[in-house]
Amino acid sequence: MYLVKNEKTGHYDIYVLIDGAVEWLDDTTIDLDDVAGDIYVGTKTDKAASDSSVIDAFFAEDDAPVIKKGDVFVVNTVINGKEYEKSSYYFSGTAWEAITGCVDADKVIAHENLLLAGDFDRIGNWTKDKNGTKLQEIDGMSFMAILKDIGSKTLQPTITANPSINGFGLSGAAAVEAGTAVATASYLAATLNPGSYKYGPKAGTGVVASNWKVERITDGGTEQVASVDAASLPAGSDNNGGNGFIIGDAGGDNAVASLKYRVTATHGAGVQAEDNLGGASNPAVAIAAGTKTKDSAAYTPFRNFFYGATAEKPTLDSAYIRGLTKSNKAYAAGVITVNVPAGANRVVIACITGKTGVKKVINETALNADVTDTFIKKTVAVEGANGYTAKDYNVWVFEPAVPYENAAVLKVTLG
């Protein structure tokens, strides 16, 4: 027997040597003043037998020692070769008193199977025919194991979300007038969403990016512009080797009809997912190592259409037409309003060729008169932004014999 002082209580915990191994007698502490005896061990092989009968039989032997105060007796229960429990008793001088203390649920063992019977068909995970019986095999299981078997069912996890890229984009990307200059294209920072598992682990999938590659994508092809070995991508920029870009639709130096960027994140594998009870998934579930990509929005070109009225009648050329009201968007069928001030000598609507253009013009201030036929269609080459390559426009022009005496509102239908 070994005594180890318990610093919390000031008493001593009891440890005994049984079958060559040191066993702690559960949570037992005794006062050292009461310790004066020996430790004896007996084995119980019949579950119906009481512990006291084992102790009595031991001391009834012809060569049995004399019991004295402080003696400890350990009853080791072994049934059909299976060890179930060890119970310990202390002789107070007049009787044997149990000193096992609180018993963990894992140490309380069922000695036989349980017959399920009654008007029910389920107890937690256990099932039977509603009016039938079933022998539930629990012999040898601990009380805790039985509770888990009834109330806890292992469910395997799934990958609920694969890794994806957060952030990233191209500042200012949009449809812009052909000829718009972009000196430097700036892309935004990005991070990797590590994905998720159903159930766990709580710390997450453990997926981390190791490299980020940024590529410029234009109608002319794809070119890598950056590579960063890091868990996240910082914001960056691309000036095309100092040449910048022109967003165009008719060629030219450094002109592109589309400009966007693609980021590719390379990431490692995730940790193994856990089932609903916190165990390792079986079969193993884990996010595989791989790559994820995301494209930014793109710069694309459009040609404005123009409209307006002027008192002057200079040469009908690109500069004049570009001085009118701009649509600031690509051509689309619909109705536009042309406000004609008093004194105007020319009304113009200009639409790029290939589009239907003007279908009808109604003068709302002249009793909704249809004045479509008063407009004459001409062709004029009109430049894009910043003097970019001109394209032919259909230009509808009305020049009254005398200036407009009063302001007018024209509703122009574009087809």
The string of DSSP letters for 15-79 reads EEEETTEEEEEEEEEE-GGG--S-EEEEEE--TTS-HHHHHHHHHTSTTPPPP-TT-EEEEEEEE
**Residue 19 CB contacts under 8 Å (≥ 6 apart), including other chains:** none
Q: With contact defined as beta carbons under 8 Å apart, do 86 and 41 qualify?
A: no
**Tokens 């009870």 sit at which residue?**
277
Q: Is 62 within a domain?
A: yes
Q: For Cα atoms 173, 178, 184, give the angle at the middle one, nearest 5 degrees.
A: 45
The reply to whether 89 and 120 lie within a common domain is no
The reply to whether 235 and 362 lie within a common domain is no
Q: Give me the DSSP letters along 95-158.
A: SEEE---S--GGG-B--S-EEEESS-SEETTEE--TT-EEEE--TT-BHHHHHHHHH-------
Among residues 90, 40, 44, the alpha carbon closest in space to that of 65 is found at 40
The reply to whether 167 and 135 lie within a common domain is no
Between CA 327 and CA 338 the distance in angstroms is 12
311: left (phi over 0), alpha (psi -120 to 50) or beta: alpha
User: Which pLDDT belongs to residue 8?
Assistant: 66
Among residues 187, 166, 165, 164, the alpha carbon closest in space to that of 260 is found at 187
User: Which pLDDT belongs to residue 87?
Assistant: 87
Token output for 48: 């119906």
Q: Is 86 within a domain?
A: yes
Q: Is 349 within a domain?
A: yes
Q: For Cα atoms 27, 29, 33, give the angle at the middle one, nearest 5 degrees.
A: 170
**Tokens 């002109």 sit at which residue?**
255
Among residues 236, 212, 216, the alpha carbon closest in space to that of 225 is found at 216
Between CA 98 and CA 93 the distance in angstroms is 13
The reply to whether 284 and 218 lie within a common domain is yes
User: Which pLDDT belongs to residue 121?
Assistant: 95
The reply to whether 308 and 395 lie within a common domain is yes
The reply to whether 260 and 325 lie within a common domain is no
The reply to whether 216 and 259 lie within a common domain is yes
User: Which pLDDT belongs to residue 126?
Assistant: 95
Q: Is 40 within a domain?
A: yes
With a cut of 50, list the residues of the chain below it in pLDDT: 32
Q: Is 313 within a domain?
A: yes
How far, rounded to the nearest angstrom, does the alpha carbon of residue 24 sit from its chain's CA centroid? 48
Q: Choose the final residue of a domain: 256, 278, 300.
A: 300
Q: Is 310 within a domain?
A: yes
Q: What is the CATH number of the domain that holds 278?
A: 2.60.40
The reply to whether 289 and 167 lie within a common domain is yes
User: Which pLDDT belongs to residue 84?
Assistant: 79
Q: Is 108 within a domain?
A: no
User: Which pLDDT belongs to residue 104?
Assistant: 75
User: Which pLDDT belongs to residue 29?
Assistant: 54
Among residues 339, 316, 411, 319, the alpha carbon closest in space to that of 370 is found at 411
Task: Domain of residue 20: give its range.
Answer: 2-103
The reply to whether 205 and 324 lie within a common domain is no
User: Which pLDDT belongs to residue 360?
Assistant: 98
How many residues would you count in the chain? Answer: 415
Between CA 355 and CA 118 the distance in angstroms is 83
199: left (phi over 0), alpha (psi -120 to 50) or beta: left
The reply to whether 225 and 178 lie within a common domain is yes
User: Which pLDDT belongs to residue 204?
Assistant: 97
User: Which pLDDT belongs to residue 2?
Assistant: 57
pTM score: 0.71
Structural domains of the chain, count: 4
Could you give the count of Cα atoms lying within 13 Å of 223 in the half-sphere of its Cβ? 10
Q: Is 194 within a domain?
A: yes
The reply to whether 58 and 90 lie within a common domain is yes
The reply to whether 224 and 207 lie within a common domain is yes
**Residue 409 CB contacts under 8 Å (≥ 6 apart), including other chains:** 337, 338, 339, 340, 363, 364, 365
Among residues 104, 126, 106, 125, the alpha carbon closest in space to that of 116 is found at 126
